[in-house]
A and B are shown apart, each in its own frame.
Chain A
Amino acid sequence: MDFTFTEDQLLFRDSVKDFLQGEVTAETVRNLWDTESGRSDALWQQMVELGLTAMLVPEAYGGLGMNELDFVLLAVESGRVALPEPLVETAMVATPLLASLAQKDPRCASLLEKIATGEARVAVQHSVNALVADAHIADWLLLPQGDQIHLLARDQVSLIAQDSVDPSRKLFDVEWQGSDETCLARGAEGVALLAATLNRGALGAAAQLVGLAEAMVQISVQYTTDRQQFGKAIGTNQALKHHMADCAVKSEFAKAPLYRAAYTLATRPEHADFAVSHAKVVAGEAALLAAKNSIQSHGAMGYTWECDLHIWMKRAWALDKFWGHAGFHKNRLHHWLLKPTAKIGADKTFGEQG
């Protein structure tokens, strides 16, 4: 029993954190809002060079053969800077799905190689989400239909853009026609792969939500230290201190569930539903509270487009509902926990729940 990350995992997290903090500032994010695609190829290439897109690609296809546990801290950092690029979706959600199919399907194998080298990006649709994120810059799309999973190139589908409250989010309705040729998996295999995809998507969103929550608190602490009223920093007022402390408590107790979810997905994916839903629910709560208490701590300034806070708030509001909103995940938890046969107890915390 050892509930810590390795030195290597922490060191890599630190270097990715430094990179992201340096390259992805509020200004970067705002500049991207004014571009056609909202995305930066240059930034993507830098992430490719750091090996980020290759992390979960198996070694056989030119990747690093790592898992969700290796990636989860990087997803937290992506959230901390409100990264607009679909790094988490490509590297941690789409890639393992392709990897599951690569042995029997050469298209998936070659796509994995291209993801590792930065030549291809992949978007994923799932019935739990209304829309597909970043379909416009994806070279390929993974599209479910019932128990089937199809792979189509972007020029085989038509996209209808839908605007999100978060100007960084690029969402699309995808219209497409599958065929036997485009079908990668079906039946029980398709269902299982889609279930695993959902869990990775929810883990990725949960991780980003934790990063977003911590970032908002940091921004608000700075603001309340600088801003003066009644001749002193507003942050000296206990009401604001307690707003921030409440956020810190929520974030802190979202982290261990998040790490357990990553571990469970990496080691026992078929038993990960409970851990993942737990993580998604509490990470969403932490981020929503951080958004609410942060805007309150900023006063009217927080209600403006000019103040950077909304970059993080809006991402939090969006990701809380992405890959399963609280209702979806709570239903899974309730269903499992309240059935009379559920075996519960402190000795089963690390057992096969869900």
Chain B
Amino acid sequence: MDLNYTPEQLAFRQEVRQWLAEHVPAEPLKSFDTAEGFEQHRQWEKTLAEGNWGMVTWPKEYGGRGCNLIEWLIFEEEYYRAKAPLRVNQNGIFLLGPTLMEYGTDEQKQRFITKMASGEEMWAQGWSEPGAGSDMAAIRSKAIRDGDEYVINGQKVWSTRAVFADWVFCIFRTDPESERHHGLSFIFVPLDAPGVTVRPIPQLDGLPGFAEIFFDDVRVPVQNRLGDEGQGWHIAMATAGFERGLMLRSPARFQQTAKRLVELYRDHQNDILDLSIEDAVVKSFLDAEAYALSTYQTASRLIKGGKIGAEASLNKIFWSELDQKMHETAMGILGARAELLPHSAAAGDVGNWLDGFLFAQSGPIYAGTNEIQRNIIAERLLGMPRK
């Protein structure tokens, strides 16, 4: 064990810090759940890509820097420190990207990763259906083979950023006779293909952050299938591992929130009446730090050839509940002003916290609900009986 950064890692941190200082937009971008904000964020992705900062862990040939996971953590720390824009293409770069590297053919990697990295193509994830939420194996939308094409019919829902995205990666039933997690395949669909209808769904903040997608005899070439036919469930689970485990929510995000919370507490120290708030602030900071420490441990283990499995579920519960707790605490500090929307004259600095508070409510739901994660932990990690 050596908990010191190497001189190279320290130099890397400086390089990231400097580049971000020179490039992060001075004015915060509009929400990426608006048409204008989405394009601003796409532009930012292009800027990142031009500096080869889009996805530092990717190989150089795909626009990355071949960094290891410790360097990725450093990059993320600097990224949040610099208050750089949220990653509009996170479904692509954090989830599909790593999955493509593992399961994609060379052609698919060439075709999809490069444009994903360059910010040219934005991705949405299309797994959930009206009848298949927690029970994803209940997916009914079908992709039926017809020569060199699949013909797709059905409906997806809750697809984040599908309103403005270019592509969606889906799980469809390719074997109509199959049941549950058999006979599913992992397929990419361009959102402008004939037969695709995207219906925006406003979220708690009123903006269309996700969408329903209807497929009506949509045709895509078989080359759009990732992995083998019928391997969809298996690949989806690997992607979900990235989602819950490591990539989607790097610790720096929560450490930055915890830091802001400590600062908010210091600013309001003299007007806080609720004694439990001080403890919640400190606890939040410690938990954010524990999540970071644990992630450094996982990263070190993975670098040495280890694997991440069902323990990804431990992470998902921990970060989502931490995020909720931090925002609840901030609302407690802001008191009577906490309910005000950012544009209200009296709102002061509440705006960010309120937005974060709303979004934090979804953390225990998306990426597999926390109840489902607890089932996974009990059954797969602890070995409790299923039936």
From known contacts A233-B385, A241-B374, A241-B378, infer whether A2 and B1 are also in contact, taking CB-CB under 8 Å: yes
Q: Judging by beta carbons under 8 Å apart, are A249 and B293 in contact?
A: no
B281 contacts the other chain (CB 8 A): yes
B296 contacts the other chain (CB 8 A): yes
Contacts A/B (CB < 8 Å), 23 sampled: A1-B6, A2-B1, A4-B300, A224-B384, A225-B383, A225-B385, A236-B384, A236-B385, A241-B384, A244-B384, A256-B290, A257-B286, A282-B290, A333-B286, A334-B282, A337-B281, A338-B262, A342-B262, A345-B81, A346-B292, A347-B78, A349-B255, A349-B296
B contact residues vs A (CB 8 Å cutoff): 1-6, 9, 13, 70, 74, 77-78, 80-81, 251-252, 255-256, 259, 262, 265-266, 269, 278-279, 281-282, 285-287, 289-294, 296-297, 299-301, 303-304, 311, 314, 317-318, 371, 373-375, 377-379, 381-387
From known contacts A245-B378, A246-B374, A346-B77, infer whether A235 and B385 are also in contact, taking CB-CB under 8 Å: yes
Q: A238-B374, A278-B286 are in contact. List 10 more A-B contacts (CB 8 A).
A: A3-B300, A5-B1, A217-B382, A221-B384, A241-B374, A248-B378, A255-B297, A278-B290, A346-B252, A346-B259
A281 contacts the other chain (CB 8 A): yes
Q: Judging by beta carbons under 8 Å apart, are A4 and B301 in contact?
A: yes
**Contact residues in A for B80 (Cβ distance below 8 Å):** 346
Q: Judging by beta carbons under 8 Å apart, are A221 and B382 in contact?
A: yes
In A84-106, the 8 Å CB interface with B consists of: none
**Contact residues in B for A233 (Cβ distance below 8 Å):** 385
Q: Select B294's contact among A225, A252, A267, beta carbons within 8 Å.
A: A252
Q: Judging by beta carbons under 8 Å apart, are A241 and B265 in contact?
A: no
Q: Judging by beta carbons under 8 Å apart, are B382 and A337 in contact?
A: no
Q: Judging by beta carbons under 8 Å apart, are B378 and A338 in contact?
A: no
Tell me whether chain B's interface is mostly helix, strand or loop, or mixed: helix
Once bound together, how far apart are the Cα atoms of A238 and B373, in whole Å?
12
Q: Which residue of A lies closest to B291 (CB)?
A: A253
Q: Which residue of B lies closest to A4 (CB)?
A: B300
Q: Which of B13, B375, B384 has the most CB of A within 10 A?
A: B384
A259 contacts the other chain (CB 8 A): yes
CB distance from A6 to the nearest CB of B (A): 7
A340 contacts the other chain (CB 8 A): yes
**Contact residues in B for A264 (Cβ distance below 8 Å):** 3
CB distance from A53 to the nearest CB of B (A): 23
Q: Judging by beta carbons under 8 Å apart, are B314 and A249 in contact?
A: yes
Q: Select A256's contact among B278, B293, B303, beta carbons within 8 Å.
A: B293
Once bound together, how far apart are the Cα atoms of A336 and B375, in whole Å?
38
Q: Count of A residues near B, CB < 8 Å?
A: 51
From known contacts A345-B81, A347-B77, infer whether A253 and B255 are also in contact, taking CB-CB under 8 Å: no
Once bound together, how far apart are the Cα atoms of A1 and B278, in whole Å?
32
In A300-348, the 8 Å CB interface with B consists of: 330, 333-334, 337-338, 340, 342, 344-347
**Contact residues in A for B311 (Cβ distance below 8 Å):** 252
CB distance from A44 to the nearest CB of B (A): 29
Q: Judging by beta carbons under 8 Å apart, are A338 and B278 in contact?
A: yes
A121 contacts the other chain (CB 8 A): no
Q: Judging by beta carbons under 8 Å apart, are A248 and B385 in contact?
A: no
Once bound together, how far apart are the Cα atoms of A256 and B379, in whole Å?
23
CB distance from B249 to the nearest CB of A (A): 13
Q: Judging by beta carbons under 8 Å apart, are B266 and A221 in contact?
A: no
Q: Judging by beta carbons under 8 Å apart, are B314 and A330 in contact?
A: no
Once bound together, how far apart are the Cα atoms of A91 and B379, in whole Å?
38
Q: Which residue of B lies closest to A240 (CB)?
A: B384
Q: Which of A4, A238, A345 has the most CB of B within 10 A?
A: A4
Q: Judging by beta carbons under 8 Å apart, are A260 and B385 in contact?
A: no
CB distance from A76 to the nearest CB of B (A): 15
**Contact residues in A for B279 (Cβ distance below 8 Å):** 330, 334
Q: Which residue of B lies closest to A267 (CB)?
A: B3
**Contact residues in A for B70 (Cβ distance below 8 Å):** 1
Once bound together, how far apart are the Cα atoms of A330 and B318, in whole Å?
20
Once bound together, how far apart are the Cα atoms of A244 and B375, in whole Å?
10
Q: Judging by beta carbons under 8 Å apart, are B1 and A238 in contact?
A: no
A350 contacts the other chain (CB 8 A): yes
Once bound together, how far apart are the Cα atoms of A167 and B32, in whole Å?
61
**Contact residues in A for B285 (Cβ distance below 8 Å):** 337, 344
**Contact residues in B for A6 (Cβ distance below 8 Å):** 1
CB distance from B275 to the nearest CB of A (A): 12
1/0 contact string of A57-91 vs chain B (CB within 8 Å):
00000000000010000000000000000000000
1/0 contact string of A192-230 vs chain B (CB within 8 Å):
000000000000000000000000010001001100000
From known contacts A241-B375, A241-B379, infer whether A346 and B2 are also in contact, taking CB-CB under 8 Å: no
**Contact residues in A for B374 (Cβ distance below 8 Å):** 238, 241-242, 245-246
CB distance from A181 to the nearest CB of B (A): 42
Once bound together, how far apart are the Cα atoms of A350 and B289, in whole Å?
10
Q: Select B255's contact among A232, A340, A346, beta carbons within 8 Å.
A: A346
Q: Judging by beta carbons under 8 Å apart, are A347 and B385 in contact?
A: no
Once bound together, how far apart are the Cα atoms of A4 and B299, in whole Å?
9
From known contacts A221-B382, A346-B251, A347-B13, infer whether A256 and B282 are also in contact, taking CB-CB under 8 Å: no
Q: Select B265's contact among A255, A330, A338, beta carbons within 8 Å.
A: A338
**Contact residues in A for B382 (Cβ distance below 8 Å):** 217, 221, 244-245, 248
CB distance from A293 to the nearest CB of B (A): 12
From known contacts A245-B378, A334-B282, infer whether A259 and B287 are also in contact, taking CB-CB under 8 Å: no
A263 contacts the other chain (CB 8 A): yes
From known contacts A225-B385, A249-B317, A346-B251, infer whether A256 and B375 are also in contact, taking CB-CB under 8 Å: no
**Contact residues in B for A238 (Cβ distance below 8 Å):** 371, 374-375
Once bound together, how far apart are the Cα atoms of A242 and B16, in whole Å?
41
**Contact residues in B for A256 (Cβ distance below 8 Å):** 290, 293-294, 296-297
